[in-house]
Chains A and B, each alone.
Chain A
């Protein structure tokens, strides 16, 4: 049996939530000295560190607010890759495989899991321990690759998708951009809030509907 891999993440983002391992058993996250150990579903710990560090360069914590590490973007990506999307369960994967023009989109055989495994290996096992400028240099070198484009897209998704998917911990992302969450009604607001911000404390989908919501990546096939 595969050894269970964990990643240490800051506790600020994970207020006592239950994390589900790939096998489906619930593990209550325990806070210790401001950090928690999160069970990984797809990455091993070293890979997760590399991806976490790369996401933090794409969407860094800085004087404009928290970033990818604080929002647990790594947990989001780990869950997506472990789920059906990571295995191309919804993409046409019959051959023959041929190269075509950009207007025909990605025609490659590799699924997101394989693209990540290869991309992370290319960033190097020492990536997370490099100085930030050296990390940026390595990322610039792969900027045009499909792996980097996925990583950038997933970083944004992990920042701003509903926390039921593992990222946007503590609604950090939505607080950053003033998104109130999936509220049920703006009937009294839509014709009043003209040119001014609608400032509401963000709420997640589960908070809005008052029950557990299961993401596609967590559903049994």
Chain B
């Protein structure tokens, strides 16, 4: 093991939050920053010939290679786990920019109630049976405290949308259920596709409040406060699971990398997998890592920031024996608790018209929040919180689009009869999708697997995760409302999907796995304080979805970035001046 020259800050993971921390620190201080990225080096220029559905959306060439490392899953602490051998319910990224390169760019703010969910549930549903094992928590930071950082993240990316709540005034055409915004969106909404427009008018005529999905893909040319100019979206439809060919989509390689890569105080080492966080007497001392040639290094640092994907942040701390692992039997320990995914479902529908679903953008579409949060719950039906229904036109390639046939048309799944039905209905089908917040539960958590290991022989992370009746009630509601809207659109309703009887790793739900090193107001129930600083190791900081105590219905990236700005301010303005515990 080679011991390298100490640096001021080492950041694990070169994705959105890691590069944002690096950019803020190198722009506002003279401290040296090294980012260690396990995946390949990427630049913005390499996506110009990446519009290939097979390699990117089917074979998933931008994702973590599961042959090197995966995770294991079981439904309860009584079962033994098996490895997730091929991709399914979520798709972790790798390489410079991480999942921020191939995201869909939906840029939601979480509602004010999400940041004080434990208090909110206790006030509204005292003594509810449904909440018996729910371990929702307040974050220790409120929506109002985060609002300016939300706006900072929106301006950095150039989020396109329409405000529905400006300083407390409801605005028609925006999301009237959202928290108050101090400013309108930096850019107006996207153009509208046919299905998205049909959904919008039908939802509006049904008395709901459709709004354009906020999108970090530019609706027009935009220069951000950092001086980065990007072109407007062309609606080519190659967004989710792809890097943007023209850089219209906000990606770490087009927003952050250009600001830091030339700096003397910055270095990004790709192909370098961090193996342990070194620590002694309550202080982190650096990290050890293995490069792509198999050489091992020790990188000493005054500050360590964990900015890798949710599962890896948690796994690194478990492997490093830094923190108290959570035990579901006693509900003691903080590391690994409050594992959440997102509650997803969809309703397929058929219209007897051409929809051109290959046109679109990851964040193009309309949504309604009339059934989200506290807006339309029905405790009698076992439902305390709902979620969003959306009609997205995110660009569907021919492999994803082919083969959707309305019920009753044919029983065949191959051969001439099937082929004719599939051709007849091609491009006449789409789906209304649902995303709901997932409650954290006492029984859902992460720890190290006792059996399966990665390519180095280190234990994989193990997810103990299953759905409860509450999540089933969420998707039952979504399917009922979604089917009603589809019928009012004049469509024939096809197959629908809820969360099902058991959690499944076989089909894609969302890459929004959260929790494990959660944020909170007390060290007894959380790993980091509301500044994203580790409670017991003050020179260790953690950013990203692992710090979220519970999931919300909206996509999490914007909140991660807002929290990262907040963490950067706390570190630069307070910690660097007076190192020590901030909270």
Contact = CB atoms under 8 A, between A and B. Distances in A.
Interface stretch (B120-128, B191-199, B328-336): B191-199
Interface of B: 48-49, 51-55, 58-61, 65-67, 70, 73, 75, 82-86, 88, 191-194, 197, 232-238, 245-246, 351, 353-356, 358-360, 393, 398-399, 401-403, 413-416, 419-420, 423, 426-427, 451-453, 502-506
Given A67-B419, A104-B84, 13 more contacts: A58-B414, A60-B416, A92-B66, A92-B84, A94-B452, A103-B506, A156-B399, A161-B399, A177-B401, A190-B359, A191-B191, A193-B194, A216-B59
Q: Closest 3 CB pairs between A and B?
A: A182-B51, A185-B234, A195-B353
A124 interface: no
Given A89-B67, A197-B354, A105 B506 contact: yes
A23 interface: no
B427 A178 contact: yes
A107 B82 contact: yes
Interface residues of A, number: 67
Nearest to B426: A177
A195 B355 CA distance: 6
A161 B54 contact: yes
Interface centre among B355, B402, B403 (most CB of A within 10 A): B402
B298 to A, nearest CB: 27
A177 B427 contact: yes
A12 interface: no
6 contacts: A58-B414, A64-B420, A90-B66, A156-B399, A182-B238, A197-B354
A49 B61 CA distance: 30
A142 B42 CA distance: 44
Interface string A14-37: 000000000000000000000000
Given A205-B49, A215-B54, A184 B236 contact: yes
Given A100-B82, A152-B414, A215-B54, A65 B236 contact: no
A104 B416 contact: no
The interface residues of chain A, by DSSP majority, are classed as loop
A48 B220 CA distance: 50
Nearest to B353: A195
A133 to B, nearest CB: 11
Given A184-B236, A209-B49, A215-B54, A90 B505 contact: no
A57 B398 CA distance: 21
Interface string A32-62: 0000000000000000000000000111101
Nearest to A206: B49
B245 to A, nearest CB: 7
Interface centre among B82, B84, B236, B356 (most CB of A within 10 A): B356
B504 A103 contact: yes
A106 B85 CA distance: 7
Given A160-B398, A187-B235, A209 B59 contact: no
A191 B505 CA distance: 37
A213 B52 contact: yes
B232 to A, nearest CB: 8
